[in-house]
Structure 1
């Protein structure tokens, strides 16, 4: 058995439990929210969508990576690569759009509590949930169309998974359309991030004058803020490693940083919400006690 094979088996022994743990944690939170009528509120509905999105992202990444680690089969068809790219783009954009909607929901709940039931009506919630999924799907389709605009001239992918940049790099040439798409995406990310930061700035200012709001902030907003910062930091690792790859990073560190945003947020999100949200925590404890 070669040292490389032993190394791959070691990574597999951590990756498979990590994938299974991610599925169990997110599926548990989804089922708790789905079956507990007391949790059929906007905040928990958006949280449920976040967990579904996390499952989509990890399922787009883990199975193919596990096959590679177990068999050292590092070939993937163009069709499979496109599908994986679609799923991962939907996850990446969906995570940010979901977190932005959740920030706006918390802002209205804390800063405009009397108007909250009217503003966050069932129609509004359905519209926001639709946006959470339609926008990432639209972005992913545009990204793939731009990436596959030109014929394929290369066949090597410098990552453990396929994503938009990988497909673009396979093309015979690049044109201005990819730059325009990138500019539009950076503008969208800036808008989403700005919405979250402005919402939390206003929430923090409102909490300074009210103990009740301070309690709401620590019980419902703090988990969301932690998750948002966690996702931004993990995404920064992925976006920055491309530039650093040729200069300072080893191959192993490069690979690790490229998958952080696909592996860490999906497993951390349900843990943080399960611990910090009182109603979710109470339901989990009830289930554990019932089983005992």
Structure 2
């Protein structure tokens, strides 16, 4: 415990501790983490490559898949290199500017991904409820604009987070009990008044995850209502199948995120190493599984990937 109360000569330097209680297992933990990262990069870059090469895939649905792939790459890349330096070489130092930069990009990309998932839900709604107008309502240009709006929202909401943190004093304890600069983990080591930071953090969550989950819930309520009005069982199955991949991706993205965030704020029951492991896994596992899920569930994409794989 003495390591948690070190005093550093430079007030602009933090220590990312890694996973407290599992220091001896850092090397072993790094092996699955590294494998998750490599598989994530291979899968998501494959999606980007295949969609860019195939003219038949230049459609709104696949443009959204490319956006999702870019956010998956961004989320895992924000934290994995530094985490591996901690696990492999014990290089735990990170400057204040480096910490705030990592935090900004991580939360910005995560909020952008949430906006992409909302747009994907809207895409499925139009495809099922108004298929005849799908091509006119959802054009590639309109999808690109929606993506830019999601990115702009994320930047504007997340930018105050590191700016508010910079104004806080950090006294003797500069040890962040985490593998990356998670907002609440940094807030907790400040010796100043953090009420503004905690309140604004909740505002960001409500304006991104809270709002997006509400919109997705409304969208799927309308989708289910439309499906139930269809008399054909075959049409029922087809309609549900078009949503299966999106539902799986949403469950993997939102459920562990909400669990981790709420645990960080309100729960003292869960052991620190369990919480931090889960906080890492929800950033590594979904980016790895998302391209696999869409590759399996989307026949057109699966066939095109198979075409390039067999060619090799």
Same fold (TM over 0.5): yes
What is the aligned partner in structure 1 of residue 8 from structure 2? none
* Number of equivalences: 288
The answer to whether the 8 A contact 2:114-2:208 is kept is no
Q: d(CA) in 1 for partners of 2:28 and 2:201?
A: 39
C-alpha distance in 2 between matches for 1:142 and 1:223: 34
Partner of 1:274: 295
After superposition, the C-alpha distances for 1:88-137 in whole angstroms (9 at most, x for unaligned) are 10232122111011101111121111222222134422211211322222
Could you tell me which residue of structure 1 aligns to residue 304 of structure 2? 283
Partner of 1:118: 136
**Do the aligned partners of 1:86 and 1:141 also contact (CA within 8 Å) in 2?**
yes
Uncovered stretches (5+) of structure 1, i.e. residues with no partner: none
Note the alpha carbon deviations across 1:168-189, whole angstroms, 9 max, x for none: 3344222436414523531442
The equivalent of 1:259 in structure 2 is: 280
Q: Is the 8 A contact 2:115 2:147 kept in 1?
A: no
Partner residue of 1:227 out of 224, 249, 261: 249
The equivalent of 1:201 in structure 2 is 221
CA distance in 2, matches of 1:279, 1:5: 45
CA separation of 1:127/1:253 partners in 2, compared to 1, >3 Å: closer, same or farther? same
Paired residue for 1:169? 188
Cα deviation per residue 1:211-241 (whole Å; 9 max; x = unaligned)? Answer: 4753543443110011101111111231133
Q: TM-score, normalised by structure 2?
A: 0.84
Distance change (3 Å), C-alpha of 1:213 and 1:187: farther
Match of 1:158 in 2: 177
**Structure 1 match to 2:92:** 74
Are the counterparts in 2 of residues 107 and 200 from structure 1 also a CA contact under 8 Å? yes
Q: Which shifted more, 236-245 or 127-136?
A: 236-245
Query: 1:61·1:84 contact (CA, 8 Å) conserved in 2?
Result: yes
Report the 3-state secondary structure (helix = DSSP H, G, I; strand = E; otherwise coil) of the residue aligned with 1:160: coil
Gaps of 5+ in 2: 1-20
User: Structure 2: how far apart are the matches of 1:243 and 1:179?
Assistant: 11
Residue in structure 2 matched with residue 214 of structure 1 by the alignment: 236
Report the Cα distance in structure 1 between the residues aligned to 2:169 and 2:82, rounded to whole angstroms: 25
2:57 matches 1:39? yes
Instruction: Decide whether aligned partners of structure 1 residues 72 and 120 sit closer, same or farther in structure 2, where only a CA change above 3 A counts.
Output: same
Structure 2 residue aligned with 1:101, among 101, 107, 119?
119
Higher relative contact order (CA closer than 8 Å, sequence separation 6+): 2
- TM-superposed deviation, 1:254: 2.2
Task: Give the secondary-structure state (helix, strand or coil) at the position aligned to 1:199.
Answer: helix
Q: Which residue of 1 aligns with 2:210?
A: 190
Return 67-76 or 237-246, whichever deviates more: 237-246
Q: CA RMSD in A?
A: 2.2
TM-score (norm 1): 0.90
